[in-house]
Amino acid sequence: MESTCSLAVSFLDQFVLHMLLPVVLLLGMGMAFGISRCCVRSSEKRKRGVELMSQMLILGVLLLYPGLATRIFTVWRCKDIEGVHGRVMVADFAIQCDIGAHIVYSSIAFACLCLYIIGIPLMMMVVLWRNRRHLHDETSNRHEIVKTSLGGLYLQYEKEYWVSVFHQRVEF
């Protein structure tokens, strides 16, 4: 007697689960941070905890980003197949495009596109922009904190290029 066990999850259900990963990451890290704040009394250790959480959050988001982008754009990848009425999703031929559930999930994909694909780089740019003075200014009181917590984003930019790009005045 042969026993097989399989779990068949449709592409659209996989899509929803994948889109929830950043939220789960954020909630998990928030809970861990909250618990650590209750247990740690030293202000130095608390400060290091904030820096570590920032580093882990940036790493987690950057690791999830390519998969999220791929999954979002796959929702709209449809094709015509001979003998089948209408277009079907390339990822799951059982799902017809532009009707029923696909329209709902396309709307969810558009919201996720705005939130993740546009929102993540935009948020990183805002964080970099707001802290740009502190990274290269070693006399700043926030230099070490910013360098430690956001250094992974900053360190790939050389000072003269970062300064020249964002300090040029546009003249008409």
**Separation CA 140–CA 168 (nearest Å):** 22
Q: Residue 50 half-sphere exposure, CB side, CA atoms within 13 Å?
A: 9
pTM of the model: 0.77
| Cβ–Cβ under 8 Å, residues 32 and 57 | no
63-84 mean pLDDT: 94
**Separation CA 137–CA 143 (nearest Å):** 6
Q: Compute the Cα dihedral for 102, 108, 112, 113 and give only its sign.
A: positive
pLDDT in tens, 3-53: 566 667 889 999 999 999 999 999 999 998 888 888 888 888 888 888 888
Of residues 168 and 147, the one with the higher pLDDT is 147
Q: Of 1-5, 50-54, 77-81, which range is least confident?
A: 1-5
Confidence check: pLDDT of 162 > 90: no
